[in-house]
Amino acid sequence: MLDVIKKARERHRNAVEQLYEDKCTVIEYQSVKDPVTMITKKQEVIVLTNQPCKLSFSTSNTTDEGDNVATVSQEVKLFVSPNISINAGSKIFVIHDSIEHVYKSSGEPSAYFTHQEIALELFKGWV
């Protein structure tokens, strides 16, 4: 029975990964020690390149009860393999429809057997 479940999960994962038509590069802001000067500085470090992924957008319209003003908010999610690790706060470049978007991972991923979902927000600089 466990083999059947494992094979079903593998087929499901393969089906999900066939939808990955985007690519992402992940950058972390890390402390790096210069081997010559021995001075440690914070700098951007590429931790993952050209990772297949899928960028997903959903939009919601809401009305604030006090102002009766409609606002539109957009939720952006990145779907990637469950085998990789993307830390919260990482800078993520995503090539979607031949356009590069720059986001940051806004929290811990939702992990599943077939994929993981990472909520994104626009990158506005390192905190």
Percent of the chain with pLDDT over 90: 78
Q: Where are the domains of the chain?
A: 2-122
What topology does CATH give the domain 2-122?
Answer: Thrombin, subunit H (2.40.10)
pLDDT confidence of residue 126: 84
pLDDT surpassing 70 at residue 67: no
DSSP label at 12? Answer: H
The position carrying tokens 């939720």 is: 75
- Mean pLDDT score of the chain: 91
pLDDT confidence of residue 63: 62
pLDDT tens column, 86-102: 999 999 999 999 999 99
- Please report the DSSP string for 44-99 in residue order: EEEEEEEEEEEEEEEEEEEEETTTTEEEEEEEEEEEE-TTS---TT-EEEEEETTE
DSSP label at 107? Answer: S
pLDDT confidence of residue 112: 94
pLDDT surpassing 70 at residue 38: yes
The tokens for 64 are: 């604030």
Closest CA to 31 of 22, 20, 21, 44: 44
Phi and psi at residue 67, in whole multiples of 5°? -100, -10
pLDDT confidence of residue 77: 96
